[in-house]
Every structure is written in structure tokens, then in C-alpha cells.
Structure 1
Amino acid sequence: MSLEKISTQLKLSSAEQKLPPVELWDPPYCGEIDIVIKEDGSWYHNGTVFKRQKLVKLFASVLKKEGDEYFLVTPVEKVKITVEDAPFILSQWSWGQGGEYGEMQLATTLGDEFILGHDHPLHIGDNGCLYVTVRRNLMAKVHRNVFYQWADIAKERKTSSGTELVLPCGSYELVLGCF
């Protein structure tokens, strides 16, 4: 991607930006670059935090996961980066259509917005943390504050394996865990 194209993309508003079709691109592997997405969602290059949020959003738009590895891709090159946990952080939520216990609108720290459901399901990781599929096969870790808000309004339901914390969200049930 040329510097001119990057500059043009950075100038677009969030509403004007469309995600590139990285799932259709299979460029040659060009090596590894010292970019790390930390566990808290911050991006670093050569040990220095990215300070321009628009640049982070641009790189996040060309992020691709293959197996357990993450890459930044363009139609002509693919470079490997390091992701410590999940590339996104789920930081906001609100009730959408249907009001309380209707659809749940979610947002990441990078501005991705979507409705929790079958296209964007909740997962419980091996580490016990909650994750939501954002796009393609990229996950957002549910921020602790969001989890506590959900746990505060969730309902208890007895099952054969114990008691579940359940939050109904329209036609989707959000199971926060079992104890």
C-alpha cells in the first residue's frame, strides 16, 4: 500500500471507511514485523505505543488470522505480527431494539459496532475470560467493566451441571458462566 493510499484512508471518517476484503487476499509471506497488540488492546511498534488511533484502525482493518497466527495483509504482501491475547477489546454495550433484554449493541475500543448474536457469538476462553467474535475469525476480549455490568443484571438459572448466570438478549442467550 502506497503512502498516498494510506494518507487517503486515514482522512476518511469512520462512516466512510469500508473493511477491505482481506479474506479474499492470499499474498506471499514477507516476514515478521515488530508490531505487538498487547493484552489490554494497545498496539506497539518496536516497543513504542501507537499514539495515532486512526493508524491503529487502519492496521486493524487489514488484520487477518490464520490458524493461531495474525497477519497484516495487503493484496501484495503479508507480514506476521504478535497478538498477546485478542486483537480487540469489547468496551461498550447498550440495549438496542426491544429495550432491556432485547438486542444487545456492542462496541470495541476501535469503533467496531455490532449486535450480539449468532453472527457475533460469545465464547468462554480456556482462561475463563469472555470473548466475542467481531469479524471474520477475529475476537474481542470482553473488558472487565462490561463483564461486571452484565453479571450485575444477569439472572440465575439452575441446570444439571450447576447454576448458570444468563442474560437474555433478544433471541440470543448470553451465558456468562456456571458455578
Structure 2
Amino acid sequence: MSQQASDVLKSLASEPQLCSEDALFDIDSEGRWFYQNSPLPTKFARLFSGILKKQDQEYFLVTPVEKVRVEVEAEPFKIVDYKIASDNTVQVMTSIETEYSLGSIETFLVSDACISCKLPNGLMASLNRACYYRFIEEFLTENN
């Protein structure tokens, strides 16, 4: 292998460089994505969500060659629908139309402020208002 190829492979294996100290992307409390304060179309938010990671309490879009800071107001994803599958796993749909499969209903964390769950890459999602009340009625009331 040439020295140039070896150097390229080493650079890809190391931590990518932060492009800017400023956040170029923002995600508001409703899970809406913005790029430099302009709304990001859902198809692009969905694309970027695949490389979103939480590292040391900060959020970044991470590729093999660069890293971009993302400012997140609450959780990066808002769950707009969920369903219990026949095997008792929970299928959730986010506001940017990404889908995740969770282990079970016990995966959800219930607090006074919100109902949330863990997703891959250290990420969290919370239920939107409609799902929040539906979840309470289905799983947290005395009748259920």
C-alpha cells in the first residue's frame, strides 16, 4: 500500500475535524430541523438524522471526514405515532418520518415533563402532545 493511501486510511479512522464552533443546524422542541435559521425540508432532515450523534452532552452530524455542531432545544426527535407490534415491541414514527423499533413499552421513560425513549447513537425522542395523552390513557391509568 502506498504512503498516500495509508495516510488517507489513517485520517478516516481518526475523529473527524469540527467544521465550525458555531452550530449550523438547529432542532427545535417540536423536532423541526433548521439550517442557518431556515427550515430544512423533511427529506433532508431525515437524511441528516442518520448521521446525528450525541457526544459529551452535545450533538453533531458526523461523517468520516467532518463534524458539524447541532443545537438541540430539547430532544432531537418528536414521536408523532407509535404502535405495539404482535411481539410486544414498540414501533415509533418521528416528525421527520423516521421509524424505530423499541424493545417494549418499558423502554419509555416517564417524568413530569415528558415521556421519552432512547434511540441509537445516544439520542432521545419524546412523545408529542397527542401521543403523550394516548400513552397515559393506554398504559398509566388505573383502568389499564
TM bin (shorter chain): 0.7 to 0.9
Moved more, 25-34 or 58-67: 25-34
Please give the alpha-carbon distance, in whole angstroms, between the structure 2 residues aligned to 1:121 and 1:26.
Answer: 31
Q: Could you tell me which residue of structure 1 aligns to residue 130 of structure 2? A: 145
Deviation at 1:68, TM superposition (A): 1.1
Q: Which has the higher helix share?
A: 2
The answer to whether the 8 Å contact 1:112/1:134 transfers is no
1:128 aligns with 2:113: yes
**Once superposed, which parts of structure 1, at least 4 consecutive aligned residues long, lie more than 4 Å away?**
none
Counterpart-to-counterpart distance in 1, 2:54 and 2:14: 12
Check the 8 A contact 1:90/1:106 in 2, yes or no. yes
> How far is 1:121 from its partner?
2.3
Shift of 1:108: 1.3
Deviation at 1:132, TM superposition (A): 1.0
Q: What is the percentage of aligned positions where both structures have the same residue?
A: 28
1:105 has 2:95 as partner: no
Partner secondary structure for residue 49 of structure 2: helix
TM-score normalised over the length of structure 2: 0.76
CA distance in 1, matches of 2:107, 2:53: 19
* TM-score (norm: length of structure 1): 0.63
Q: Distance in 2 between matches of 1:45 and 1:112?
A: 19
Paired positions, count:
130
Which one has a larger percent strand, Structure 1 or Structure 2?
A: 1
Query: Is 1:117 the equivalent of 2:103?
Result: yes
Q: What is the match of residue 46 of structure 1?
A: 36
Between the aligned partners of 1:114 and 1:34, the Cα distance in structure 2 is 26
2:137 partner SS: helix
